[in-house]
A and B are shown apart, each in its own frame.
Chain A
Amino acid sequence: MGAGLGSHLHIEGDSLVHRLPAHVKLVALVSFILLVVALPREAHLARVAMLLTALAVVGLTRVRWRHVLARLVVETPFVVFALVLPFVATGPTREVGPFTVSHDGVAASIVLLLTATTSCLMAIAFATTTSSRDLVRALQHLHVPDRLVQILAFMVRYLGVVGSQSQRMKVARESRGFAPRSLGGWPVIASSAGALFIRSYERGERVHLAMMSRGYDGRMPVTDPLEADRRDWARGLAPTVLALLALVWVHAA
């Protein structure tokens, strides 16, 4: 997994979603998911509608579905949890075929699956259309504490560098006959982790010195501020408005 660190996350494109300013997308993503999570428990229909909205947004990015499916794999552990839930939860039960399942457990399982998939799809739509540079600019624009933004900026900048270093160390281990099969391999991998820490730390020191010599004073200048007009906001916040309508509708019904 160390190979493509950071490289395949963002996919170049010129879709509607790609062109939206990053901070609009970030605000839209967070507000949309917050509203979806706030839907009451029984509102399955509204949740399906939100899932369809997320699917539509992913469709608008024109990213290949194969790629989206590959990214959805991170959800797996919680899909397993959701499948187990009906059998371990308490409360009134009912018979489904040969199984006895908890009524509340099934409901919670559906809620978890729909919500997690919806938010995962939206996050993928965000990640594939936003470069890491734009993410940093968006956080800067939204006045996230500067120090935190800088740490994040350095992290996304060096993700590929340290990732490929880790990959080279893996190649070096394996070309010397190391095969990770059992617990006996742990000391080798742990000392690789140790070496990786020392190399990352020393790289951090070098980067800091290089920046000092270029006039770094603890702050990052904003060279190219993000801008959004009313139309960008209207487009970006469309899913959020849909989620808000769904929430209002569910509470009114």
Chain B
Amino acid sequence: MHVPDGFLDAPTSMATAVVAAAGVGLALSRARRELDDRTAPLAGLVAVFVFAAQLLNFPVGAGTSGHLLGGTLAAVLVGPWTATLCLTVVLTVQALLFADGGITALGTNITLMGLVGVWAGWAVFTSLRRLVRSRGLAAVPALAGVAAFASVPVAALAFTLLYAVGGRAPIPLGELVAAMVGWHTLIGLGEGFITFLAVGSIIATRPDLVHGARSLVHARALEIRTDARA
């Protein structure tokens, strides 16, 4: 999904860079509410986690494997503003130190994965959570999975629209939309299932760390038992 240099023309790259800069600027001021003064070290470590999670390969069968994109997973775990920052940093490091994704396409990549990927997933997650409020904590992994599934074709659709505006080769738009969305729906299935499993395993041990479930976790007071039972 990392767009390289030369894929979109210069005006489109510049336009997406402006969009990305605006989004990241807003996220910088809002992320403080999610993590207060711990923002820098924690978001840095979450960014490393997103990076490492992208390196975990999931066997698909027939010798091929896929990997996680992680936008929705990060949004559910640490909140969408921090997730945007984490994805931005991950993409920047990948472009500058790993030559993965173009330098001038960095704005495009941040817009697609850090903004569209994160926020589409988060929007689906919060609206679903409102719908099934009564189900409580147990439903959160499934909701995160559905949101992650939805975010991938949405990001692919956003990419297709950008390609229609600034692509270099004339490909019939209808076919491109069909191919991109169709293929990414399959990828989204994997993304959704892994997100579901990963959020489930975190909720089982540290539900307080999952930002998307924070309102559902009851604060438990420390219980001190004085009478030891035999």
Contacts and interface: CB of A to CB of B under 8 A. Distances in A.
Interface of A: 1-2, 5-6, 9-10, 26, 29-30, 33-34, 36-38, 41, 71-72, 74-75, 78, 85, 88-91, 102, 104-105, 107-109, 111-112, 114-116, 118-120, 122-124, 126-127, 132, 135, 145, 147-148, 150-159, 161-163, 166, 180-183, 185-187, 189-198, 200-201, 203-205, 207-208, 211, 218
A244 B229 CA distance: 81
Given A37-B104, A109-B169, A151-B89, A201 B201 contact: no
A115 B52 contact: no
Contacts of B193: 186
Contacts of A122: 103
A112 B104 CA distance: 13
B118 interface: no
Interface stretch (B35-43, B129-137, B154-162, B215-223): B35-43
A1 B175 CA distance: 35
Contact of B85 (A115, A151, A159, A186): A151
B38 A205 contact: yes
B109 interface: no
Given A194-B197, A200-B45, 18 more contacts: A2-B52, A5-B52, A9-B98, A37-B102, A105-B170, A116-B6, A119-B5, A122-B103, A147-B39, A151-B85, A152-B92, A154-B43, A159-B51, A166-B52, A192-B56, A194-B202, A197-B46, A201-B49
A186 B45 contact: no
A191 B198 CA distance: 5
Nearest to B196: A190
A104 B169 contact: yes
Given A30-B103, A152-B92, A166 B97 contact: no
Interface string B29-71: 0010000011111111111110111011111110001001000
Contact of B97 (A41, A135, A195): A135
B15 interface: no
Nearest to B209: A201
- 9 shortest A-B CB distances, which residue pairs? A154-B44, A115-B6, A108-B169, A190-B197, A194-B201, A204-B45, A119-B5, A150-B40, A123-B99
Contacts of B85: 147-148, 151
Given A151-B85, A152-B92, A190-B198, A37 B170 contact: no
Contacts of A107: 168-169
A119 B28 CA distance: 29
Contact of A182 (B57, B59, B88): B59
Contact of B28 (A145, A155, A203, A208): A145
B112 interface: no
Contacts of A153: 40, 44
A200 B89 CA distance: 16
Nearest to A30: B103
B39 to A, nearest CB: 7
B13 interface: yes
A132 B48 CA distance: 14
B31 to A, nearest CB: 8
Interface string B188-217: 000001101111111001100100000000
Contacts of B140: none
A155 B96 contact: no
Contacts of A112: 4, 6-7, 168
Contacts of B68: 193
Contacts of A196: 49, 52-53
B86 interface: yes
B201 A190 contact: yes
Nearest to A126: B96
A71 B98 CA distance: 8
Contact of B5 (A26, A36, A191, A197): A36
B59 A183 contact: yes
A30 B2 CA distance: 17
B202 A34 contact: no
A189 B193 CA distance: 12
Residue in B37, B42, B175, B205 whose Cβ sees the most chain A Cβ within 10 Å: B42
Contacts of B4: 75, 78, 112, 115-116, 119-120
A180 B77 CA distance: 26
Contacts of A10: 97
A108 B168 contact: yes
Contacts of A150: 40, 44
